[in-house]
Chains A and B, each alone.
Chain A
Amino acid sequence: MRKGLLSGLLVGLLATQAYAANSIKLAITGPFSGGSAPMGASMRDGAKLAIAEINAAGGVKVGGTMMKFDIIERDDEAKNERGALIAQELASMSGLAGVIGTVNTGVCMAGDKHLQQKGITKIITPAAGSDSMTQWIKAKVKDLSIFRFAAHDGIQAAMVVEEAINRKYTKVAMLYDATNYGVSGRDDMLEQIKKQGNKLQVVVSEKFNIGDKDMTAQLLRAKNGGAQAVLIWGIGPELAAVANGMAKIGLKVPLIGGWTLSMSNFIDNAGKNGNGTLMPQTFIEEPISPKAKSFIAAYHKAYKVQRIASPVSAAQGYDAVYIFAAAVKQAQTTDTKKIKLALENLQEPVHGVIATWKKPFSAWNPADVTSHEAFRREQAVMGMVKDGKVVFGNDADRKRLIKNATSVAGKK
Chain B
Amino acid sequence: MDQAVIIQMVVSGALMGLVYALVAYGFQLTFATSKSINFGQGELVMVSAFFSLTLTDLGLPYYLMIPGGLLFGVIAGLFVERAGVRLALEQKSEGWILMTIIIGLFGFSAAENIWGRDDRPFPTPIPSEPIQLFGISITWLEVSVAVGVFMIMAIIELFKRKTLLGKAFEAVSADRDAAELMGISATRTIMLSYGLSGLVAALAGILISPITTVGPTMASVLVLKAFSVAVVAGLESGFGVVLVGLFLGSLESLTSYYVGSGWREAPGLVLLILSLAIRPTGIFGKAVIRKV
Contact = CB atoms under 8 A, between A and B. Distances in A.
B261 A207 contact: yes
Contact of A237 (B8, B137, B213, B261): B213
B56 to A, nearest CB: 15
Interface in B70-113: none
B121 A269 contact: yes
B9 interface: yes
Interface stretch (A161-169, A188-196, A244-252, A373-381): A244-252
Given A208-B261, A220-B257, A250 B130 contact: yes
B119 A35 contact: yes
Contacts of B260: 206
Interface string B248-264: 00000110110011101
B5 A244 contact: no
Contacts of B120: 265, 268-269
A34 interface: yes
Nearest to A244: B128
A213 B212 contact: yes
Nearest to A178: B262
A214 B116 contact: no
Interface size class of A (residues with CB under 8 A): 20 to 34
B117 A34 contact: yes
Contacts of B117: 33-35, 37
B213 A269 contact: yes
Interface in B107-149: 116-121, 128-130, 137-139
Interface in B258-279: 260-262, 264-265
Contact of B130 (A209, A212, A249): A249
Nearest to B221: A211
A217 B256 contact: yes
A273 B212 CA distance: 15
A407 interface: no
A220 B9 contact: yes
Contacts of B257: 217, 220-221
A209 B220 CA distance: 13
Nearest to B217: A211
Contacts, number: 86
A236 interface: yes
A213 B212 CA distance: 6
A247 B9 contact: no
B119 A265 contact: yes
Helix, strand, loop or mixed for chain B's interface?
Answer: mixed
B2 A216 contact: no
Given A217-B261, A237-B215, A265-B119, A224 B5 contact: yes
B221 A218 contact: no
A265 B138 CA distance: 24
B44 interface: no
A218 B119 contact: no
- Most B C-beta atoms less than 10 A away, residue of A35, A208, A209, A217: A217
A240 interface: yes
Given A218-B261, A220-B5, A247 B118 contact: no
A220 B8 contact: yes
Contacts of B211: 213, 244
A104 to B, nearest CB: 14
A37 B118 contact: yes
Contacts of B5: 220, 224
11 contacts: A37-B118, A207-B262, A216-B13, A220-B9, A236-B119, A237-B119, A240-B213, A248-B139, A249-B8, A269-B119, A271-B128
- CB-CB nearest 7 A-B residue pairs: A217-B256, A217-B257, A216-B12, A34-B117, A237-B119, A213-B212, A211-B221
Interface of B: 2, 5, 8-9, 12-13, 16, 116-121, 128-130, 137-139, 211-213, 215, 217, 220-221, 253-254, 256-257, 260-262, 264-265
Given A33-B117, A209-B265, A236-B119, 10 more contacts: A217-B264, A218-B256, A240-B213, A247-B130, A248-B138, A248-B139, A250-B130, A265-B119, A268-B120, A269-B119
